[in-house]
Amino acid sequence: MEKKEQLYEGKAKKVFATDDPELLIVDYKDDATAFNGLKKGTIVGKGVINNQMSNRLMAKLERCGIPTHFVKELSPRETLVKKVSIVPLEVIIRNISAGSFSKRYGVEEGIVFDQPTIEFSYKNDALGDPLLNTRHALALKLATPEEINTIEKYSFRINEILKDFWKTCGVTLVDFKLEFGRLSDGTIVLADEISPDTCRLWDAKTGEKLDKDRFRRDLGGVEEAYAEIMGRLEAHL
């Protein structure tokens, strides 16, 4: 499958057309951004790790019955995916308080919830991805009620699968962001990526952060953390 014209360059990935109108090639970069693009940097090796981690996890989810956009890894940074029309919602699932949840509600990080939470934000960089509820999403016609039901059901199931998997690696899945899209026939599938850029992953014993918070918060050891988490994943596949 050959790369044709570049359709889009985002903050972390480039997206290319292919000969097949239903397929795209995604090319992962080492560029890192945080705080809606305000903080910029490079994490050497991140593109390879995010590409490979996302593909391994999506393959696992497919085996558990969750439809995803993943088709085939083409190279260390490039993957063939099904083209979708992205539902402009970022779905965030949380098992433990951290980040914007702690800030918004004035609570410490690390509170383990009895039940996971779900929240949506409107995927719109110009507006800073504002938080919204299901009725707001319906009012804005971002998705249908059936699509929102499917997205919620898949998101909680994905949480159970990934939480169990990361536990076997000695890692606590704190929270993560998902994006879904529609195939040409309207089927909802998981799209975008699942990586240390989009998940909070803490060492289960020490609580050490093994994700993008090391970059966001200038904690140092960013490359080492990405390599460590990828090593744990590969050892437990």
Residue 24 binding ligand ADP, by CB under 6 A: yes
Say how far apart CA 55 and CA 68 lie, in whole Å: 10
State yes or no: residue 127 binds ligand ADP (CB under 6 A). Answer: no
Q: What sign results for the dihedral spanned by CA atoms 228, 196, 54, 223? A: negative
Of the candidate spans 80-88, 98-106, 149-157, 204-212, the one that interacts with ligand ADP by CB under 6 A turns out to be 80-88
Nearest residue (beta carbon) to ligand ADP: 10
Tokens at 196, concatenated? 């240390």
Q: How far is the CB of 32 from ligand ADP (least distance, A)?
A: 11
Residue of 45, 12, 57, 33 lying closest to 224 (CA atoms): 45
53 binds ligand ADP, rule: CB under 6 A: no
Q: Answer for the pair 16, 3: CB distance below 8 angstroms, yes or no.
A: yes
Among 32, 49, 81, 174, binds ligand ADP (CB under 6 A): 81
CB of 196 to ligand UDP, least distance (A): 8
Shortest Å, Cβ 89 to ligand UDP:
12
Q: Where are the beta strands (DSSP E) in 20-142?
A: 23-28, 31-34, 39-42, 70-73, 78-82, 85-86, 89-96, 112-122, 131-132
Site residues for ligand ADP per CB under 6 A:
8, 10-13, 15, 24, 69, 81-84, 86, 179, 181, 191-192
